Amino acid sequence: MNIDSIQNGIVIDHIKAGQAMQIYDFLELGLLDCPVAIIKNAASTKMGRKDIIKIDSELKIDLNALGYIDPEITINIIRDGVRVKKYHPELPELITNIIRCKNPRCITSIEQELPHVFKLIDRARDEYRCVYCESKAGI
């Protein structure tokens, strides 16, 4: 299987096998008109199997939000065909409109225009809570 290497864009590597589509949906990659490749179940010496996403465009979004989904993911920034940066996403202090508050008593349940904002409460336990009602976040 041949997938062209990208010139300017992002490679999201070391995604847990089977999780690529969740990230694809989460980043709304379906809305892009640039080439996007999803490689599922690729062989990995470290993980056994992994997923990879290649995006042939420099997205202007905060990829650290991916840290909420899986902090082990590797993000590679490619410029002129060369990898210029490689990093693991850090858990962001705030995540906005990535997950929704599920508390039916939260003000966000009746005010549709409100952003759903969660704050990192405990980095060691990846625990986020709604800034309005303090309910625990869950994907």
Partner 1 sequence: MRHITSITDLSIAEIDELILTANDIIAHPDKYRELCRHKKLATLFYEPSTRTRLSFEAAMYELGGQVLGFSEAASSSAAKGESVADTIRTVCCYADIIAMRHPKEGAPTVAALHATVPVINAGDGGHNHPTQTLTDLLTIQAEKGRLDHMTVGLCGDLKFGRTVHSLITAMCRYPGVQFVLISPEELKVPSYVKIPLKSGNVPYTQTTDLASVMPELDVLYMTRVQRERFFNEDDYVRLKDSYILTPEKLESARPDLIILHPLPRVNEIAVAIDEDPRAKYFKQALYGKFVRMALILKLLEVHA
**Chain contacts with partner 1 (rule: CB under 8 A):** 103-111, 113-114, 121, 129-136
Closer to partner 1 by Cβ: residue 28 or 134: 134
- What's the longest Cα–Cα distance across the chain? 50
Smallest distance, partner 1 to C-beta of residue 100, A: 14
Token reading at 129:
């809570």
Closer to partner 1 by Cβ: residue 58 or 122: 122
Class of residue 55 by CB neighbours under 10 A (exposed 0-12, middle 13-18, buried 19+): buried
DSSP 4: P
For tokens 């589509």, the residue is 21
Closer to partner 1 by Cβ: residue 63 or 131: 131
Smallest distance, partner 1 to C-beta of residue 41, A: 37
CB 51 within 8 A of CB 18: yes
Smallest distance, partner 1 to C-beta of residue 133, A: 4
Closer to partner 1 by Cβ: residue 17 or 133: 133
Smallest distance, partner 1 to C-beta of residue 23, A: 28
Q: How far apart are CA 6 and CA 4, in angstroms?
A: 6
> Which amino acid does the sequence have at 60?
K
